[in-house]
Copies of this chain bind each other. A is one copy, B any other.
Amino acid sequence: MNLKQLAESLNLSQTTVSRALNGYPEVREETRARVLAAAQAANYQPNSRARRLATGRAMTIGHVIPLAGKTEMVNPIFADFLAGAGEVYANEGYDLLLSIVSDGEAERAYRQMAANGSVDGVMVQSPETDDTRIALLRELGLPFLVHGRTQNPDGYSWLDVANKSAFRKATNFLLDLGHRRIALINGQENLDFAARRRAGYAEAIWSRGMAPNPDWMRADVMTEGFGYVAASQMLDLAETPTAFLVSSVIPAIGVRRAVVERGLVLGRDISLVTHDDVLSYMNNDADGPAFTATRSSIRGAGQRCAEILIDLIRKPNQPHVQELWETELTVGRSTGPAPAG
């Protein structure tokens, strides 16, 4: 069933039927009701391909997600972010076009999207401190929103978590508990969020007249295995950390494994604070939060990012939207006063 047939069956023109369905005011209410009823009965849905050509809008938003590193890992954060954004897209009538590309191919994907008009805008995730995608998208004239930001966050729209202050707070929290040997298990530090977290951590330590110790700092793709290996190595040093600051619940689980394996008790012998993205399958709340954490829902961020991006698409030429989310430190059972000695 297409518009032409529907119109014929109603003895109306395509124009009138189209307008009735799309809520235009110049249709008599009685006519509109008739049209709506017939459309319903025939299960008529306008052909999206035709509609997109006619309107010049793709009603689609692109997410290009790069496979990281040699092993081409999928950042688990993407799933929850997509879930949040996807929900909003669906409500607003937008489709979500997912393009999964090997690391170097992102640029080609964006160029193609811009040239063939398959999307109205794109979402950019996990920017590096100096991310080339931003200049590219600006040049392409494609509306975009960055989740996170770059070192120089001017001239484009973004939504980010206050990573530096979160990790400064978390570090201070541990310092206040008497910890002096605090390790940082970070994400890859070419990524802006990780760089900022490191800066917050370092700032807090410097501000107490101490210096960060490179032996207690490690950064890599945030897997459980990385957390385990990094913590294991540090716990085997002559001078071991008494506390760990970790960038995600996933490596935190690995850190916990290393701690427990050595017969140490978390929250007594060793303290651990993690950032918690509130990932679906990494619940930190079985009975009260297991980990003390700076928390910020990646899914919530996805929702808000989608709202902003759609608004950017609908109203071009508006000033850049820049939104910074503070985190709160939730105290769980993984922290306690520094052990004596």
Contacts and interface: CB of A to CB of B under 8 A. Distances in A.
A130 B283 CA distance: 29
A281 B76 contact: yes
Contacts of A56: 49
A224 B283 contact: yes
Interface stretch (A66-74, A148-156, A177-185): A66-74
Given A53-B49, A83-B72, A116-B45, A100 B90 contact: yes
Given A78-B79, A224-B282, A99 B116 contact: no
A58 interface: yes
Contacts of A282: 223-224
A48 interface: yes
Interface string A205-229: 0000000000000000011110011
A86 interface: yes
B116 A98 contact: no
Nearest to A52: B49
A100 B84 CA distance: 9
A95 B101 CA distance: 12
B74 A83 contact: yes
A147 interface: no
Nearest to A283: B225
Nearest to A251: B281
Contacts of A279: 76
A237 interface: no
Contact of A115 (B43, B72, B101): B43
Interface stretch (A190-198, A253-261, A313-321, A329-337): A253-261
A254 B312 CA distance: 43
A97 interface: yes
A75 B280 CA distance: 8
Task: Pick from A44, A74, A222, A250 the residue with the most CB of B within 10 Å.
Answer: A74
Nearest to A71: B280
Contacts of A238: none
Contacts of A78: 79
A311 interface: no
Contacts of A50: 53
Contact of A83 (B67, B223, B283): B67
A87 B58 contact: no
Interface string A113-138: 00111100000000000000000000
A98 to B, nearest CB: 5
Nearest to A97: B95
Contacts of A224: 253, 281-283
A97 B97 contact: yes
A118 B67 CA distance: 26
A73 B57 CA distance: 32
A286 interface: yes
A82 to B, nearest CB: 7
Ranked nearest first, the 4 interchain pairs of A and B with the lowest CB-CB distance are A86-B100, A45-B115, A73-B280, A48-B116
